[in-house]
């Protein structure tokens, strides 16, 4: 286990170094924009992972928080002014708004379960979508609106590192949250809600906490996404955005946080690759259909997600390496676990 943790830390350190070094290797606007896109979508996917992977809640309206964050920052900068003060106030306002909406939405819908909760969240998201479409004199309706940002944020390298820093900070805070006693309770609720309630935990309160954390994180992702695009339309509130976050979480591995990052990278890179091929080969003009086959293959062959599959392969390799290094201490997990169970049963 210690060897596995050391290997994980080394891989993360190497990956972080490579990602941080990309702006020195290329000045391509497309590459930097794609990587920034991956960072922001990873934050959004991690927010969804808090609901699905750690609490066992399926939401079809998570784009509500993502879109509201983009709209709040965009409207403030458009109508008040493109200054650093307004940018910071817009991000803070989006976080507060996400928290309040999450508490309201959770208070009204968390007492019901499964598909009913998912449909209520979808209904709330659709209400915000309709409002964005109808208030054309403010939001621009389907056409959306563009806005200016502070001059420093217009520099793609600066915004690249800002997004990377936001991803690192968010990952650290969410990791600490999931490893805290509250995070352990959320995982217990995911595994068996009735047993967690029988143990004396206030399940509703912990679910509300999970919804609030996920809502604030998604609002942060949305506000930064709006700053990157410098354009906001009603599409940020669509069901498609929620489905994208759901697929990223499942593909990477729900309940891992790192899986959301891997899923975001894979989905965005494959989409960009297929889109580029479509310009050359007419076959790839239907790339969403081909992308669907990619999803199916990953779900069939890696049901636990790519991170869990890689983790299992790593454990197998480490066990074999230790067995060759110390033949006398050969360890077979299945047999040893069975022996422990027999001993406990006899006692």
Q: pLDDT confidence of 344, banded at 50, 70, 90?
A: very low
Q: pLDDT confidence of 347, banded at 50, 70, 90?
A: very low
Which pLDDT score is estimated for 343? Answer: 38
pLDDT of residue 265 exceeding 60: yes
pLDDT of residue 164 exceeding 90: yes
What's the whole-number mean pLDDT along residues 215-231? 95
Compare 44 and 142 and report the one with higher pLDDT. 44
8 Å CB contact between 226 and 90:
no
pTM, two decimal places: 0.87
pLDDT of residue 340 exceeding 60: no
Helix (H) or strand (E) segment spanning residue 318 = helix 306-325
Q: Which domains does the chain have, with CATH numbers?
A: 2-304 (1.10.3470)
8 Å CB contact between 186 and 52:
no
- Token couple for 204: 């509703």
Above pLDDT 70, what percent of the chain? 84
Q: Spell 278-292 as b/e; 16+ CB within 10 A means b.
A: eeeeeebeebeeebe
Q: What is the largest CA-CA distance in the chain?
A: 76
Looking at 9-23, 44-58, 275-289, which range is the least confident one? 275-289
When the pLDDT of each residue in the chain is averaged and rounded to a whole number, the result is: 84
Which pLDDT score is estimated for 175? Answer: 92
Which pLDDT score is estimated for 236? Answer: 93
**Residue in the block written with tokens 């004199």:** 137
What's the whole-number mean pLDDT along residues 290-302? 77
Distance in angstroms between the alpha carbons of the first and the last residue of the chain: 28
Looking at 4-13, 17-26, 49-58, which range is the least confident one? 4-13
Look at residue 232 and give its three-state secondary structure: strand
> Highest-confidence range of 207-216, 240-249, 302-311, by mean pLDDT?
207-216
């Amino acid at each position: 286990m210690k060897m596995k943790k050391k290997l994980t830390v080394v891989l993360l350190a190497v990956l972080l170094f490579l990602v941080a070094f990309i702006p020195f290797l290329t000045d391509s606007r497309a590459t930097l924009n794609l990587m920034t896109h991956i960072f922001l979508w990873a934050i959004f996917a991690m927010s969804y992972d808090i609901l699905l992977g750690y609490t066992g809640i399926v939401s079809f309206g998570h784009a509500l928080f993502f879109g509201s964050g983009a709209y709040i920052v965009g409207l403030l900068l458009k109508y008040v002014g493109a200054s650093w003060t307004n940018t910071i106030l817009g991000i803070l306002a989006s976080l507060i708004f996400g928290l309040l909406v999450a508490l309201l939405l959770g208070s009204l819908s968390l007492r019901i379960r499964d598909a009913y909760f998912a449909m209520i969240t979808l209904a709330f998201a659709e209400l915000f979508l309709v409002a964005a479409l109808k208030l054309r004199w403010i939001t621009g309706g389907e056409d959306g609106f563009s806005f200016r940002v502070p001059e420093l944020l217009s520099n793609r390298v600066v915004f690249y590192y800002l997004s990377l820093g936001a991803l690192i900070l968010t990952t650290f805070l969410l990791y600490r949250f999931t490893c805290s006693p509250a995070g352990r309770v959320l995982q217990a609720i995911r595994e068996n809600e009735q047993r967690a309630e029988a143990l004396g935990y206030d399940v509703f309160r912990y679910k509300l906490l999970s919804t609030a954390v996920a809502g604030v994180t998604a609002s942060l992702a949305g506000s930064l996404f709006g700053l990157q695009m410098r354009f906001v339309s009603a599409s940020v509130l669509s069901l498609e955005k929620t489905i994208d976050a759901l697929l990223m979480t499942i593909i990477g591995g729900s309940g891992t946080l790192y899986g959301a990052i891997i899923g975001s990278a894979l989905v965005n890179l494959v989409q960009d690759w297929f889109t580029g091929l479509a310009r050359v080969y007419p076959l790839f003009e239907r790339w969403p259909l081909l992308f669907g086959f990619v999803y199916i293959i990953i779900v069939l062959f890696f049901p636990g997600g790519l991170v869990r599959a890689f983790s299992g392969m790593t454990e197998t390799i480490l066990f074999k390496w230790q067995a060759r290094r110390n033949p006398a201490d050969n360890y077979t997990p299945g047999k040893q676990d069975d022996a422990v169970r027999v001993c406990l049963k006899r006692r």
